[in-house]
Chain A
Amino acid sequence: MLQISGLHVAYGQSEVLHGLDVAVAPGEIVAIMGRNGMGKTTLMKSLMGIVPTKSGSVRMDGTEVSGLRSWERVAHGLAYVPQGRMIFSTMTVEENIETGLVASGDKAVSDDIYELFPVLLEMKKRRGGNLSGGQQQQLAIARALATKPKVLLLDEPTEGIQPSIIREMARTLKRIRDERALSIVVSEQVLSFALDVADRVLVIENGEIIRDDARAGINEAEIAKHLSI
């Protein structure tokens, strides 16, 4: 579904990602673990075309997207929930979700999105900026889903969210995957969440993937070692 090969990304002169190779199968949930500053956000941004790719290729369903603009990549089925949510704060909840409709071409937000996040239905007319952090996270996911993606990218969705809600989010993500048959790539620092949600766990360190384990038979201690400082 999503194929990343030999991906090099740099900010100016300093290279941050040194040739990543990741393949994500249809319907698969992949967690990318790594400490602060290891390049998770950079990877997400380069997949979305926010940070330019230096070399390497990113393919969606076989189509090369690494030279395309962000909105063209969305049209090819990528959707993005950024670190910090980045919702449009002066627009209402409903309008926020509707911004995703441009890509899908739908006329109205489909009911199943509100079914997934009932809070958003209640707060439809509120300004996005006045929602709590957890509600904003749901809004950012709803907005991404409105584009009808094939691959959903989430950058540290658990950041600043309390443990009970984190478990619920893992359930929601799996439900999204099951109902919509899409692939999910999620970057994480919380190991328990990654183990909850993922089919495969990768570890990124200094811009390189150093581990790639299937969920079954994973060695938690080994991975935890890479996450502690």
Chain B
Amino acid sequence: MFGDYSLSDLGAIFAMQGFAGLILFSVFLLMALGLAIIFGQMGVINMAHGEFMILGAYVTWLTSNFFQAHLPALFGGYFFVAMVLAFFASGALGMLVEWGLIRHLYKRPLDTLLATWGLSLILQQCYRSIFGAREVGVDLPQWMLGSFQVTDAIQIPINGVFVMVLTILITCAVAYILYWSRWGRQVRAVVQNRVMAGAVGINTEKVDRYTFALGCGVAGVAGSAFTMIGSTGPTSGQLYIVDTFLVVVFGGAASLLGTIASAFTISQAQSTLEFFLSGSMAKVITLLAIVGILMLRPQGLFALKVRK
């Protein structure tokens, strides 16, 4: 498949596709981060995670519409506002879901799987009723549309770089919260041993609720980024949940560095292969490679070494 291209062409193609994959990387990373936080914290596999992302996407769309209609002068900055709103909207919904549904099912992991799957269907129908079945897209502000011309053959899309920088900042913030803040210490204690965490005085229920909300909020931000590479419809989230699971498993659950590395690898592999092959073929090859690697390294790319 590489036969028809010269070496310098190939280099340019890889670079271009690599940068084109930046937004996909951002979406994967944020989604996986949210999913991993929730799974690591309470052992809940959130099947509705994609719908939390789509809520963020809809919020971004609404914000962009609002700015277009009422504050056209500030349209260039709508994305920042949208991200913050997306975070809080998805986070608030997450908190509500944890309180109303998840916390009653902590001792029944299989039931949480079913319950969150049911929730994803309910949310999809809600989106359909509220926003309509048609997919919606946002207009990007002018300054995000162009690209940096690096060489004749290589262009870097501005919005890709922008979203990636924001994603890295968010990832750093999450890392800070989990590894260096007092709150994060409580979260990690609960993850390690819920019963013992309670017995040293940590309010595990509160930790659960806020952690679930954090994971969902980060998914909402992923939704904001998502509006730049796809149009938003009631079921758009479904397409991403499987990829996100892959990222988490491949990276090795409970390892932030692993999640980053794996989101990067998978998004880049997909984006690069898509140039040469059809989208579904690219997926198949990525999947096969991951399965192969996981057979050799079942614990994922990164795993903590410590005596249990």
Taken together as a complex, chains A and B put the C-alpha atoms of A95 and B186 apart, in Å, by 10
Check A130 for interface membership: any CB of B closer than 8 A: yes
**CB distance A74 to B185 under 8 Å?**
no
CB within 8 Å of A: which B255-308 residues: 304, 306-308
Min Cβ gap B303→A in Å is 11
Check A36 for interface membership: any CB of B closer than 8 A: no
Check B92 for interface membership: any CB of A closer than 8 A: no
Check A71 for interface membership: any CB of B closer than 8 A: yes
Min Cβ gap B185→A in Å is 6
Check B147 for interface membership: any CB of A closer than 8 A: no
From known contacts A88-B193, A89-B192, A99-B186, infer whether A71 and B204 are also in contact, taking CB-CB under 8 Å. yes
Check B172 for interface membership: any CB of A closer than 8 A: no
Pick from A71, A82, A130, A147: contact of B203, CB under 8 Å: A71
**CB distance A71 to B195 under 8 Å?**
no
From known contacts A88-B193, A89-B307, A129-B306, infer whether A74 and B200 are also in contact, taking CB-CB under 8 Å. yes
Taken together as a complex, chains A and B put the C-alpha atoms of A100 and B192 apart, in Å, by 15
**Interface size, chain B (Cβ < 8 Å):** 22
**CB distance A71 to B201 under 8 Å?**
yes
Pick from A98, A129, A144, A147: contact of B185, CB under 8 Å: A98
B307: nearest chain-A partner, CB-CB: A129
When distances are taken between beta carbons in the complex, the residues of chain B under 8 Å from A103 are 200-202
When distances are taken between beta carbons in the complex, the residues of chain B under 8 Å from A90 are 188, 192, 304, 306
Check B110 for interface membership: any CB of A closer than 8 A: no
**CB distance B186 to A102 under 8 Å?**
yes
Contact flags A68-93 to B (C-beta < 8 A → 1, else 0): 01110011000110100010111100
**CB distance A100 to B200 under 8 Å?**
yes
Taken together as a complex, chains A and B put the C-alpha atoms of A99 and B197 apart, in Å, by 8
Contact flags A125-150 to B (C-beta < 8 A → 1, else 0): 00101100000000000011011000
From known contacts A71-B204, A130-B307, A147-B201, infer whether A86 and B188 are also in contact, taking CB-CB under 8 Å. no
The SS class assigned to the A binding surface is mixed
Check A50 for interface membership: any CB of B closer than 8 A: yes
Check A48 for interface membership: any CB of B closer than 8 A: yes
From known contacts A88-B192, A127-B306, infer whether A69 and B198 are also in contact, taking CB-CB under 8 Å. yes
When distances are taken between beta carbons in the complex, the residues of chain B under 8 Å from A75 are 201
CB within 8 Å of A: which B165-185 residues: 182, 185
When distances are taken between beta carbons in the complex, the residues of chain A under 8 Å from B185 are 91, 95, 98-99
When distances are taken between beta carbons in the complex, the residues of chain B under 8 Å from A80 are 199-200
When distances are taken between beta carbons in the complex, the residues of chain B under 8 Å from A127 are 306
Check B189 for interface membership: any CB of A closer than 8 A: yes
Taken together as a complex, chains A and B put the C-alpha atoms of A48 and B195 apart, in Å, by 10
A147: nearest chain-B partner, CB-CB: B201
Check B196 for interface membership: any CB of A closer than 8 A: yes
A107: nearest chain-B partner, CB-CB: B182
When distances are taken between beta carbons in the complex, the residues of chain A under 8 Å from B304 are 90
When distances are taken between beta carbons in the complex, the residues of chain A under 8 Å from B204 are 70-71
When distances are taken between beta carbons in the complex, the residues of chain B under 8 Å from A79 are 200
Min Cβ gap B28→A in Å is 25
Min Cβ gap B192→A in Å is 4
Taken together as a complex, chains A and B put the C-alpha atoms of A98 and B180 apart, in Å, by 12
Min Cβ gap B72→A in Å is 48
**CB distance B199 to A48 under 8 Å?**
yes
> Counting chain B CB atoms within 10 Å of each CB, which of A69, A89, A102, A103 scores highest?
A102
When distances are taken between beta carbons in the complex, the residues of chain A under 8 Å from B188 are 88, 90-91, 95
**CB distance B307 to A50 under 8 Å?**
no
Taken together as a complex, chains A and B put the C-alpha atoms of A30 and B7 apart, in Å, by 80
> Counting chain A CB atoms within 10 Å of each CB, which of B196, B198, B307 scores highest?
B196
Taken together as a complex, chains A and B put the C-alpha atoms of A70 and B194 apart, in Å, by 11
When distances are taken between beta carbons in the complex, the residues of chain A under 8 Å from B197 are 88, 99
Q: Which residues of B contact A (CB under 8 A)?
A: 182, 185-186, 188-189, 192-193, 195-205, 304, 306-308
* 8 additional contacts (CB under 8 A) given A74-B200, A143-B200: A70-B204, A71-B204, A74-B199, A89-B307, A91-B188, A91-B189, A102-B203, A144-B200
Q: Which 10 A-B pairs have the closest CB atoms?
A: A103-B201, A74-B201, A70-B198, A129-B306, A86-B196, A88-B192, A129-B307, A99-B189, A80-B199, A70-B199
Chain A to chain B contacts (Cβ below 8 Å), 26 pairs: A49-B198, A50-B198, A70-B195, A71-B201, A71-B203, A71-B204, A74-B199, A74-B200, A74-B201, A80-B199, A82-B196, A86-B195, A86-B196, A88-B188, A88-B196, A89-B308, A99-B185, A99-B189, A99-B202, A100-B201, A102-B186, A102-B201, A127-B306, A129-B308, A130-B307, A144-B200
